[in-house]
Amino acid sequence: MTLIMHSSLLLIFFILVYPLLTTLNPNQQGSNMAGMTKVAVSSAFFISLLPLMIFLNLKTEGIITNWQWMNTQTFDVNISFKFDHYSLIFVPIALYVTWSILEFALWYMHSDPYIDRFFKYLLTFLVAMIILVTANNMFQLFIGWEGVGIMSFLLIGWWHGRADANTAALQAVIYNRVGDIGLIMTMAWFAMNLNSWEIQQIFVLSKNFDLTIPLMGLALAATGKSAQFGLHPWLPSAMEGPTPVSALLHSSTMVVAGIFLLIRLHPLMENNQLALTTCLCLGALTSLFTATCALTQNDIKKIVAFSTSSQLGLMMVTIGLNQPQLAFLHICTHAFFKAMLFLCSGSIIHSLNDEQDIRKMGGLFNIMPATSTYFTIGSLALTGTPFLAGFFSKDAIIEALNTSHLNAWALTLTLIATSFTAVYSFRLVYFVVMGTPRFLALSPINENNPLVINSIKRLAWGSIIAGLIITQNFLPMKTPIMTMPTTLKMAALLVTIAGLLVAMELANMTSKQVKVTPIIPLHHFSNMLGFFPAIIHRLLPKLKLTLGQSAATQLDKTWLEAMGPKGLALAQMTMAKVTNDISRGMIKTYLTIFLLTLILAILPVLL
């Protein structure tokens, strides 16, 4: 059985890498890279179901150590893959979502002359992500981590003729780099203190250590990669890339890499209260802040991006609650409905000739019924509608939050963020799908292309049944608390319904438009993203440049010039000028000075 499992898993790798190798061929005439990639990913998905079934049936988990890469007498770096509960569930889900997204991209990017290169980048990203997820040691994880970061840069800046796209790509790379500092610090700490980068060895050896430093490093890494508050502006800016990129990278797979890292190394965090509280509070703050920002955005992709950021904050909260499995469940369900929301928005954008502003969309329910239905299903799943995918993970998280002993501040923030989720989801659906059209009626909008409809349909099935399937088949590792007061049990649902009612009332008020502008300070705070990017993107470079300037003038320039020639010359000049100015052509002054200097010269002789 283990042989079947391990061979199928390695087969997945080879199937995914094969299209990349065909791009090395110098004769690229007639190569159908795009179609081949889609077939490769779909076949890899079906093959990956086999180890998943074996795991379901027999609970086999495996570690394959393939190659001893850089081994010295004291330190080992191997290539080893770990196939446990987390990676065995995540790989099929990632492959399924990627399959749908690639099929969608065949339609979305069909007029792009470099579509093969686009698919190559997406496939490289997928391979890096799978390396990250199946890594058994920190070095391999780091390879995957950097890989997804670089592919994110290349894909966000796909339309590199656009200045904003290049800025956004650079922003993504720089913010991720700041997070990477944390990861590298953690790896260095492990190498120094535990003498290993293998995960099993780290877990065994770390029992008696004070793990605050590496855990803070890991938290910083997750803040950078998963866009927590403080290092979050890159995620909405990353919407400059094409929609398939946003769907794959910045909703389902890359941004969960940080959370996945924390889930993998969770046994280290269980006993460290500081790390847990940091994750909890940071996650709650992120969740509320980004949900607030999403309330007044007008670009459809930015709203979904902020929604992703908010859900990532929720996942961070779950980690802080010592429930890694729930966080992982939320990762899996979130991948489905978030990718579906992005694909639906891509379909809408393409049909409306690149119109992304929801102020110029409307009434799409009559014109694009399938897309708007799937869009609504995705939004319902996002808000945690009972028995869709999001419900199983979100409701469980909120229940765990309500029944654990922790600070009420994080709890309040998370509940408010949950209600905001309902608000902006309803706002999105109201402006995009309902009402009357506000766009030009010229373009022929249709949904006839099977590439689009089949891919979104597959994700819709996933959004509906994935939560049920995963929870029915996998027992929780930590016993959830089953008894709680009815209010706490219904808290998530009540808060969501309250948000929905508020949103409906606000939409009603918008449709009446009693005055032109709303309450300006609140709206501007939310719309300008809390002024965070506006301040930080100007303040930090200014501080650094001022530091550089002061170092260059006060230190370098002083030592090189002012201490020696220029300073001396300046002093001489000043003294000469003073002496000169005292006695400008006045005979009496000349004679006085002459007398004074004479006395000064004769005085030592006299004495």
Partner 1 sequence: MAAAYLTHHQKVLRLYKKSLRHIESWCIFRDKYRFYACLLRARFDENKHEKDMIKATMMLKAGEEEFWANQHPQPYLFPDSPGGTSYERYECYKVPEWCLDQWHPSEKAMYPDYFAKRELWKKLRVQSWDKEVQQLQNETPADGPKSEALPPARKEGELPPLWWQFVTRSRERPM
The residue from 198, 355, 395, 399 that contacts partner 1 (CB under 8 A) is 355
Nearer to partner 1, 120 or 264 (CB): 120
Per CB under 8 A, which region of 208-216, 244-252, 259-267, 515-523 contacts partner 1?
515-523
Nearer to partner 1, 57 or 436 (CB): 436
Six-digit token string for 62: 């495996």
Q: Is 208 in the site for partner 1 (CB under 8 A)?
A: no
Q: How far is the CB of 222 from partner 1 (least distance, A)?
A: 30
Q: How far is the CB of 357 from partner 1 (least distance, A)?
A: 6
Closest CA to 235 of 171, 295, 318: 171
What is the full DSSP assignment across 484-547?
--HHHHTHHHHHHHHHHHHHHHHHHHHHH-SSSS--HHHHHHHHTGGGHHHHHHHHHHHHHHHH
Site string for partner 1, 421-440 (x = CB under 8 A): ----------x---x--x--
The residue from 208, 511, 578, 601 that contacts partner 1 (CB under 8 A) is 511
Q: How far is the CB of 536 from partner 1 (least distance, A)?
A: 17
349 vs 344: CA distance, rounded Å:
9
Site string for partner 1, 164-203 (x = CB under 8 A): -x--------------------------------------
Site string for partner 1, 100-129 (x = CB under 8 A): -----------x-x----------------
CB 129 within 8 A of CB 335: no
Closest CA to 373 of 420, 434, 444: 434
Per CB under 8 A, which region of 118-126, 399-407, 488-496, 508-516 contacts partner 1?
508-516
Q: Is 20 in the site for partner 1 (CB under 8 A)?
A: no
Nearer to partner 1, 516 or 605 (CB): 516
The residue from 59, 207, 524, 544 that contacts partner 1 (CB under 8 A) is 524
The residue from 520, 578, 587, 601 that contacts partner 1 (CB under 8 A) is 520
Q: Which amino acid is at 228?
A: Q
Per CB under 8 A, which region of 278-286, 333-341, 517-525, 571-579 contacts partner 1?
517-525
Q: Is 527 in the site for partner 1 (CB under 8 A)?
A: yes
Scanning residues 288 to 317, which ones bind partner 1 (CB under 8 A)?
Answer: 297-299
Phi, psi of 283, rounded to the nearest 5 degrees = -65, -45
Nearer to partner 1, 267 or 437 (CB): 437
CB 361 within 8 A of CB 123: no
CB 282 within 8 A of CB 179: no
| Residue 197 C-beta-side C-alpha neighbours within 13 Å | 24
Owner of token pair 């089949």 = 454
Closest CA to 226 of 318, 96, 351: 318
Give 493: exposed, middle or buried? Use CB within 10 Å, 0-12, 13-18, 19+: middle
The residue from 31, 356, 385, 583 that contacts partner 1 (CB under 8 A) is 356
Give 370: exposed, middle or buried? Use CB within 10 Å, 0-12, 13-18, 19+: middle
Q: Which stretches of the chain bind partner 1, using CB under 8 A?
A: 111, 113, 159-163, 165, 297-299, 353-357, 359-360, 431, 435, 438, 510-513, 516-518, 520, 523-524, 527-528
